[in-house]
A = this chain, B = another copy of it.
Amino acid sequence: MTEVPPPAIVLVRPQLAQNIGKAARAMLNFGLTDLRLVSPRDGWPNPDAGPAASGADIVLQNAKLFENVADAVADCAHVYATTVRKRGVTKPVVRPDEAAIAIRSEPGGSAILFGPERSGLATDDVAVARTILTVPINPEFGSLNLAQAVILVAYEWSKGAGLSQPPVTDLGTPASQEELDGMIGQLDAMLEGVGYFFPPDRAPTVKRTLRTLLTKPGWNAQEVRTLRGVLSAIDRPRGPQRAEASTRNASKRSNS
């Protein structure tokens, strides 16, 4: 049986380097070391992070820096978006303990997204994830800070760290986020070419709806390849007016 790797903790646009240090400390307490930073507001590395880490320097030193969420989770098969507030998205919502169990039983790496201190994850960040992770909290006083949210998730994950797990069902290698993004990019490009996104100002919303739909199931890597074959087949017999659209969308795709 393959060992399921511990989840990556992805801090999306964190504001204070001090909070990055505190999150690193929270992680290492419970055995997590894979810290990923997406566009920290004050740059990285940052001298304010170290003292707040209280000795968890190894986590900070190995932290990886990314420009966007998609890049940060490209190698992960399962992406969780941590939100406190209810969102108008139709994705499964799990508690930290449920997420921990799922992460331990799902082959392929997992990533857990945490948003900026003040605002939390943006809707577009949440759209990248397949699952929402929410800490059930006092409805009259919900005020978890970043490191506290990280520590609760890490703590729940650590509970199973030494226990024997039931055998992992072989559902095929899960599609990585990158593979899914590639497929969604291909479909977006095709749909742009045929004028599906109309009116243009609704395009982001419609794309998000499609993404939510297409990231729902948990296809494996082979299935995503099959679907891309389908899309290519449908796309093939187009006339020359499609060439321009394909080029436009290819550049768009690389930004996704």
A residues 136-155 near B (Cβ < 8 Å) are: 136-139, 141-145, 147-148, 151-152, 155
Q: State whether the Cβ of A30 lies closer than 8 Å to any Cβ in chain B.
A: yes
Chain B residues, CB < 8 A from A239: 239
Q: State whether the Cβ of A1 lies closer than 8 Å to any Cβ in chain B.
A: no
B148–A26 touching, CB < 8 Å: yes
Chain A residues with a Cβ closer than 8 Å to the other chain, count: 72
Complex Cα distance, B29 from A143, in Å, reads 6
CB-nearest residue of chain B relative to A170?
Answer: B90
- Pick the contact of A55 from B143, B166, B237 — CB < 8 Å? B143
Given contacts A139-B164, A141-B55, contact A93 B169 (CB under 8 A): yes
Given contacts A29-B141, A148-B151, A194-B234, contact A166 B93 (CB under 8 A): yes
- Pick the contact of A164 from B30, B137, B163, B164 — CB < 8 Å? B137
**Interface of A toward B, CB cutoff 8 Å:** 25-26, 28-31, 54-56, 86, 90-95, 97, 132, 134-139, 141-145, 147-148, 151-152, 155, 158-159, 163-172, 187, 190-191, 194-196, 209-210, 213, 216-220, 223, 226-227, 229-230, 233-239
- In the assembled complex, 18 residue pairs joining A and B whose CB atoms fall closer than 8 Å, in A order, are A28-B138, A29-B137, A29-B138, A29-B148, A55-B141, A56-B141, A90-B171, A93-B166, A134-B166, A136-B166, A138-B158, A148-B148, A148-B151, A152-B152, A196-B234, A216-B219, A216-B223, A217-B217
